[in-house]
Structure 1
Amino acid sequence: MAETRQRRARGQGEQLRAELVSAAIDLLLQPQSLAAPSLRAIARASGVAPSAVYMHFASQDELNYAVTAELFDRLRTALDTADPVDAAPDRRMHALLDAYLNWSENQPGAYQLLFERPDPLGSESQGPGLDLLDRIARLLPGDDPEAHRATALRIWCAVHGVASLRVHKPTAPWASDARADAWALVSGLLAEP
């Protein structure tokens, strides 16, 4: 519980303003979770009683996991549809990155839910979407699975950065489109020895 403050004398407004900004920053220093809709809100949106939700999901966490798994399935479907499986690896990589960026642009709320909040099962879980890294790793040249996974993770970090910033900062002075920005970063990673 916050301490009760004594009223300040007139003329100290700037000091109070600075203290308020400092308190807000202190509160924001901890990661904030993107809240999933409550079971009651989902029941209302579905036009059913809350007890009906509990017949299918024992807890909010169980429902959150089901939502996350379903969204990853939708993302996988978008990637599968875009993947020219008989093409050269670099063409496939381009197609997958384009599909990932398209999905993030067309489904920004789903994208945030998947990639901008903790995994629904916490740090003990591998999460339902890590297989997407393996999809990228298989397209990399050579035969070092550990190095491929590390590079795939760096590629995802680069493309995620572009996708996330485009969702949150659409009015930034972007010099090119998201695909060109992402591919410039990925090309740099692929050129590294």
Structure 2
Amino acid sequence: MIKPSKPLSTGVLAFGFLFLYIPIISLVVYSFNESKLVTVWSGFSLKWYSALLDDDELLTAAWLSLKIGLLTATASVVIGTWAGFVLARFGRFKGFTLYTGMINAPLVIPEVIQGISLLLLFVALEQMFGWPKGRGMVTIWIGHVMLCVSYVAIIVQSRVKEMNKSLEEAALDLGATPLKVFFVVTLPLISQALLS
């Protein structure tokens, strides 16, 4: 086996970081530029940040994005935790293949296809049942949750599989119900995975 040289590894790593972070750093530096042209530096100014704070539409959009993000993260963690726990602990059951397929499908289907499919679904649901009225925050939230649940389920599944089952079995032997074992023993042990 060929041993990689330390200078070459360091050089490749440094090049990778520079390739990733130079555009971000230049964007931050030029955000303080007084000129409207990005390529011409005409002096230090905070006027673009004050213009940002004065733009009500932009602030409303940012607040809506934060709300959708927080609601999505919360719902995805709750649903994905149960889904990952079922995948890890329940073994093969009737419908297991369909269940794993539904969990893993959003990971392999392109996001554009998923978005168009959800749009068509919501339009058809509105025509048939009258819900959801138009496309808005709820439909965006449902789409985001559908995408994020898969990631949470995969992370939780791997964390639960590598957990020591004897802790849960000991709690069950001491008289705890399976639900109490999940909330008192399992959930604290997988909490780092949930935070990620």
TM-score normalized with structure 2 length:
0.27
Which of 1 and 2 has higher RCO (CA within 8 Å, sep 6+)?
Answer: 2
Query: Larger Cα Rg: Structure 1 or Structure 2?
Result: 2
